[in-house]
Structure formats: structure tokens, C-alpha cells
Amino acid sequence: MEKDNQIIRSVFAAKENIQAADDLIRAYIPFIRSEASKCISRFCTENDDEYSIAMMAFHEAIMGYQKERGGFLSYAALIIRSRITDYLRKEARHRGNISIYQEEDEDSRGLIDTLTDKDDPFEESARLEATQQEIAELASVMADFGVSFSDVADNSPKQQRTLEACAEAICYAKENSELLNELLRSKKLPMAELVAGSGVERKTLERHRKYILAMLLIQTNGYEIIRGHIRQVLTRKGGAPV
């Protein structure tokens, strides 16, 4: 009983604090893995997709847990099982396809090795490093605003229509760079100008404030790689005649 209470207490702490959630998940890796193994009827290694699904399900369980839902661990086990089942069902659609990692016989190499690499591995790793730097810098700037990527993900628009509305506001900001400078200087989102300039509903933007913030920060100097990644959004929207 005492132990149960302890778990529940740490779960509720983890709901508030990302770091606490990570710690809790790490502490329960054996439990998660055993649940995943039960589910797929074989030992679950860290490289299995099911393993990561189970980890994610556990995180979801932390966030979704409520006291009236009974014991936390049984609840988490339920979530893990159902997520893995979902995943397996989804994967069943691809069953006919062969994996590029699959090896035909013992000494032949995987299919992947026969594919020619487009990119030079060195160049690739250099790019990865650059990307990492960019992301780390962005994360630190966002931390100044008190926002993490996890927050942004929670705050991100889900509907296509909302996404487009937000993109419109972002494009407007991109074209009016003084807005971005204003943002960096005052550390405040120039919401009024965004609303006035883009014609998007204020409510929509307010609801996705953190997301807008992150996207605007990406539009400021120095995030070419990230910007290149989401170029599709910006060019399409930016290219559209006003």
C-alpha cells in the first residue's frame, strides 16, 4: 500500500515535470520491457519497435493516469498492451513487404547494404552534427522563453486547418522581420500585430501560442537546416499571393 502511494506520488510529480517523468520511466524500464515481452510473446530487446512503443505508452500512462483509474501499474500495463496491439495491427498491413534489413542467408549482407548510399557518410555525419547544434541552440533560446520542445509538441495544432492558419501568421511574421526582432528584444509574442497582419483569429493563435513562438524563433537567423526541413510550409504559404 505504502509502495502504491509512493508510485502514485511520483506519477503525479512526473505529470508536472518532464525531468521527473523521464526519471520515472527509466526506473520502470524493466517493468515496461516485461510487459512488452508478454505482449509479443518473446523477449523484447531495446531495438524492437515494441520496446519504444511500450516506453511511449508508459509515458502516456503517466500523463493520463487519474486516481479513480485504479492502481497505476495495472493501468500502465493496460495502456502498454493496447498500444502494442494497435501497433501490431497497424504493422500487419505491411507484412507482405520485405525489410531492407532482412538477410537472405547467413553470410550475405542485408538488403540495405546493396543499396548505394546517396550521401557520403562523412558528409552525413557532419550534417547531423550541424543539425544537432542548431537544435541545441534553438532549445536554449526557447528555454529563455520558458518553453521546451515537449511543450510545443503538446501545443502544436492537430487539425490541418488550424495548422494552415498558424502557418499564415508565421509567414506574415517572416515577411515582416521587424516583428521577429521585436520578439527577440522584448521576449514577448507580438500577438496583436500578428492578428492584424495575418487576419487569423486571435483565439486560434492564442491557443497555439507556444507553437507560434517556436516557429517564429525558427524564422530568426541561424536555423537554416531546420528552416530547410519545413521549407514546404513556408514556401507554399509564403508563395501564395496575398
Partner 1 sequence: MSYLVMECHPGYAVVLDSRGRFIKVANKQYKVGQRVDRVFEMETEKPASQKLNIKKWIYSAAAMAACLVLLVTGILRVDQSAYASVYLTINPQVRIDVNRKDMVVDVEGVNEDGKDLTRDYSHKNKSLDKVMDELVDRAIEMDYLHEGGKVAISLDSKNEEWVVSHKDKLTSHLNEHLNEKITVTVEVKKEKPTQDKVTIPVLPQEEYKDSDYGQTDAQTTTAPQKPITPQKPAENDYDEASDYSDSDYGETESESAVTTAVPAESPYDEASDYDDSDYNETETTAATPQRPADTDYNNSDYGSTDYKSETTAPSEASASDYDDIEHGISQYHNDDDDEEEEEEEENDFSDYDE
- What does the binding site for partner 1 look like in residue numbers (CB under 8 A)? 18, 21-22, 25-26, 29, 46-47, 49, 52-53, 55-56, 58-60, 62-64, 83, 87, 128-132, 134-136, 138-139, 148-150, 152-158, 163, 166-167, 170, 211, 214-215, 226, 229-234
Indicate the residue among 108 and 209 with the shorter CB distance to partner 1. 209
Q: How far is the CB of 230 from partner 1 (least distance, A)?
A: 5
Please state, in angstroms and rounded to a whole number, the distance separating the CA atoms of residues 230 and 126. Answer: 20
Contact (CB, 8 A) for 190 and 181: no
Long-range contacts of 53-58 (CB under 8 A, 24+ apart): 53/80, 53/83, 53/84, 53/87, 54/80, 54/83, 54/84, 55/25, 55/29, 56/83, 57/32, 57/82, 57/83, 57/84, 58/25, 58/28, 58/32
Spell out where 2-126 has E strands: none
Indicate the residue among 185 and 203 with the shorter CB distance to partner 1. 203
Indicate the residue among 2 and 44 with the shorter CB distance to partner 1. 44
Indicate the residue among 173 and 214 with the shorter CB distance to partner 1. 214
Residue 37: all three cell numbers together: 515481452
Q: How far is the CB of 73 from partner 1 (least distance, A)?
A: 16
Q: How far is the CB of 111 from partner 1 (least distance, A)?
A: 16
Q: How far is the CB of 188 from partner 1 (least distance, A)?
A: 21
Indicate the residue among 103 and 129 with the shorter CB distance to partner 1. 129
Q: How far is the CB of 213 from partner 1 (least distance, A)?
A: 11
Please state, in angstroms and rounded to a whole number, the distance separating the CA atoms of residues 174 and 202. Answer: 18
Indicate the residue among 104 and 124 with the shorter CB distance to partner 1. 124
Amino acid at position 209, single letter: R
Q: How far is the CB of 97 from partner 1 (least distance, A)?
A: 12
Residue 213: all three cell numbers together: 513562438
Burial class (CB in 10 A: 0-12, 13-18, 19+), 215: buried
